[in-house]
Every structure is written in structure tokens, then in C-alpha cells.
Chain A
Amino acid sequence: MIGSQKMLAIVPAYNEAGSIVEVVEDIQRVIPAMDVLVVNDCSTDQTEARARNTTSTVISLSFNLGIGGAVQTGFKYAAENGYDIAVQVDGDGQHMASEIPLLINTMETCQADVVIGSRFIEKKGYTTSWVRRLGVTVFTNLNSLVLRKRITDNTSGFRAYNRRAIIFLSGNYPQDYPEPESVILLGVNGFHLEEVPVQMRERIHGQSSISAVRSIYYMVKVLLAIFVDIFKERLH
């Protein structure tokens, strides 16, 4: 099924020297036909040098844009270079390459524009902190309310996008904490989202970009952004 389409894995990486090589090699072992793009978000460690030693394409930003800006760079690259499918795989190694075919197959069988790899549909041995759980509950209910469709893991960055979604997001992608907001943005602009249960690993190295202290700011910022998106003019 995966055959003739041009596929790209977008790997945003900020200081992921400890895991980046493994992430790239995993993807290429599982799906040799998939190109890998590492977007180095101005890391201060060996991320760039190590990524360049792999067969991946490396794009380095001149200053740190944050996850949203880095992933959007990947969408721009995918749009420019004619990719049909882009899969975001985080550079920290928590997303498993072996689950990528599942995302792409779901996209084809459900005729979806976006498939979110979710760790909450089925319980598969993954525990999270209570702040994160609270945020997840809030976003799940809010997004379900707005979109009339239940998305259980709005914070998952493990997603597959088709060409239409790639082109849309290369022009409009939220910057700070893009995952929950982009679900709304895609939903209200008429994209078909699907969700599929996946397993995720504990992080190989480094820390989650969301610490407990910043989680309140995170919630308020994203909630505001979501409300703004609901009332903003449609982008099509």
C-alpha cells in the first residue's frame, strides 16, 4: 500500500544528540522508501553533527524557533519537494518507527487527511504526570466540543499528514505549543482527522519540553489560541 507515494519523516530535534542517530536509523530500517528530514532547531550540542553522519537530510535553523517553527520548516520542505505524505517523528525517540506504517495505512483506509498516533485509546503501558493528564482532559473535551469528534490524545506529535494538509500547514502552523491547537485549526478548516492507538517509548534522553512549572502558562496560552482559532476567519 505504501508503494508509489513520496514519503518524508519530519524529525524536529533540539539538543537530541543522544537519540537522534537511533531515531533516523530506526525509521530507515522500518521503511527504507521513506526520506528522513532532521530539522535541527539550533541545538547547542552535537545533534547537527551526528544527524549529518546519517543518511538523513539536515536543515539547521539559525536560531531556536521552538517545536512549531521547526516542524513548519519540515512542512515547507515537504511542500516544496513534492511529498505526498509527511510523518512527524520526534527526535527524542519516544515515537516508534515500527508504528509509522500503521499511521500511513490508517490514512489510506479511512481516507483521512491527518492521522494522530494516540497513546490513550488503549492502555499500553504508558504513564504520565497528573498535570499532563489534566491538560489532556481539558483539551480532549474542548476539542471534542468544537469539532464534534473525539480526539483523545491532542498533545501527541506523532502524526501523519497528506499532501493537502502539508500545504495548508506549511502556511499556517501554530508556533509555541502547536499540537492541541493544530487539531482545532485543521478541524475547523475542514480536514478529516483520524486517530489510531500506538505505543510510545519513555524518552531515551533529555526532558519533555513541558515542565510542571510551565504547564499553567501552557494551558492558558493554548486555550487562548484555540479560542482565537475558532473565531478567526477561515483560512481557505
Chain B
Amino acid sequence: MDRVQIVSISLVVLLLGVIFQLIRKNRLLEQYSLLWILSAAILLLISLWKGLLDLISSLAGIYYPPSALFLFAILCGIMIALHFSVVISRLTKQNHTLAQEIALLKQKIEIIGKSKDFKCEE
């Protein structure tokens, strides 16, 4: 086993450990952890199975196989960042809608409050 393999395997195992710990402590929702687990699994697979990495490298014309590993790691990072942008966009929209609904509700409550006051005066 190469030294680079040992390093990458232990890093991926560490990453998986952190992910599971975060899920276990309820600090990471399952839906957001899926991409992380998937990424870590891919990295673990190509770290363990050196032949696969060599095969991919020769197919893609990458001279130095471990750099294919970095390529995968970067691709996983980009995928996750994109996923975050999608999630943030959705949250922003929901946030706007909530602010508008709250403002509309506040105004309705004001009217109800005023009409009650009016009855009391009578």
C-alpha cells in the first residue's frame, strides 16, 4: 500500500466519522448529509482500489494517478457548493415569503384589535 493511499484513506475515514457524528448529534439533517456521504464513499472507493484509479487515469489521460483523486475531491466539493447555493436560494425565497406573510398578518391583527377597542367604547 502506497503512502498516498494510507493518507487519503485515513482522511476519508476521518471525514466519514465527522459526518456521522454530526448526524448523530442532530446538527446535520440527513437530506444535507447525503451528498457528503456519497462524496466520501466515492473517495474511499478510489483510495482503496488503486486499480480503479489507474484505470480512470489512463482513460482520462491523467499521467499521475493520485491527481485523479484530487480531481474527484474537487468535483465533490463543487457539487456540494452548488447544492448549497440551491438550498440557500430556496431558503431566501421562503424567508421573503414568510416576511411578507407576517407583515400582512400583523396588519390584520391590528384591524381586529382596533375593532375590539371600538366595541368596548360603545
Instruction: Point out residues on A near B: beta carbons under 8 Å.
Output: 39, 57-63, 65, 69, 72-73, 76-77, 80, 175
Is B106's CB under 8 angstroms from A175's CB? no
Q: Are B96 and A65 in contact (CB under 8 A)?
A: yes
Kindly state whether residue B60 has any CB partner on chain A within 8 Å. no
Answer yes or no: B74 CB below 8 A from chain A CBs. Answer: no
CA distance A77 to B106 in the complex (A): 12
Interface size on B, residues (CB 8 A): 9
Quick one: which of B100, B102, B107 contacts A57, CB cutoff 8 A?
A: B107
Q: Which residues of A contact B100 (CB under 8 A)?
A: 61, 65, 69, 72-73, 76
Decide: B103 and A62 in contact? CB cutoff 8 A. yes
Report chain A residues within 8 Å CB of B104. 59, 73, 76-77, 80
- Enumerate chain B residues within 8 angstroms of A62, measured Cβ to Cβ: 99, 102-103
Could you say which residues of chain A place their CB within 8 Å of the CB of B107?
Answer: 57-59, 77
- Tell me the smallest distance from the CB of A43 to a CB of chain B, in Å: 13
Closest 6 A-B residue pairs measured CB to CB?
A: A73-B100, A59-B103, A59-B107, A61-B103, A69-B96, A62-B99
Q: Is the CB of A60 within 8 A of B103?
A: yes
Cα A153 to Cα B106 with chains together (Å)? 35
Q: How far, in whole Å, are A60 and B107 apart by their CA atoms in the complex? A: 8
Closest chain B residue to A170, Cβ basis: B100
Contacts of A39 in B (CB 8 A): 103
**Among the listed A59, A63, A65, which residue makes an inter-chain contact with B106, where contact means beta carbons less than 8 Å apart?**
A59
**Which B residues fall within an 8 A CB radius of A?**
96, 99-104, 106-107
Chain B residues contacting A69 (CB-CB under 8 Å) are 96, 99-100
Q: How far is the CA of A60 from the CA of B96 in the complex (A)?
A: 13
Q: Which residues of B contact A72 (CB under 8 A)?
A: 100
Give the distance in Å from the alpha carbon of A69 to the alpha carbon of B100 in the complex: 8
Which chain B residues border A73 with CB–CB below 8 Å?
Answer: 100, 103-104
A59 to B106, CA, bound (A): 8
Shortest distance in angstroms between A221's beta carbon and chain B's nearest beta carbon? 14
Residue contact B106 to A60, C-beta cutoff 8 Å: yes
Residue of A nearest to B105 (CB): A59
| Cβ–Cβ < 8 Å partners of A65 in chain B | 96, 99-100
- Cβ of A57: which chain B residues have Cβ within 8 Å of it? 107
B76 to chain A, nearest CB (A): 27
| In the bound complex, CA of A175 to CA of B93 (Å) | 10
Which A residue sits closest to B93, measured CB to CB? Answer: A175
Contact sample, A vs B, 17 pairs, CB 8 Å cutoff: A57-B107, A60-B103, A61-B100, A62-B99, A63-B99, A65-B100, A69-B96, A69-B100, A72-B100, A73-B100, A73-B103, A73-B104, A76-B100, A76-B101, A77-B104, A77-B107, A175-B96
Please measure, in the bound complex, the distance between the C-alpha atom of A74 and the C-alpha atom of B25, giving whole angstroms. Answer: 43
- Residues from chain A with Cβ under 8 Å of B99 in the complex: 61-63, 65, 69
**A219–B106 CA distance with the chains assembled, in angstroms:** 35
In the complex, which residues of chain B have a beta carbon less than 8 angstroms from the beta carbon of A58? Answer: 107
Q: How far is the CB of A34 from chain B (nearest CB, A)?
A: 18
Complex contacts, B106 vs chain A, CB 8 Å: 59-60
Chain A residue numbers with a CB within 8 Å of B103 are 39, 59-62, 73
B97 to chain A, nearest CB (A): 9
Residues of B within 8 A of A63 (CB): 99
For the complex, give the distance between the alpha carbons of A57 and B100 in Å.
15
* Shortest beta-carbon distance from B112 to chain A in Å: 14
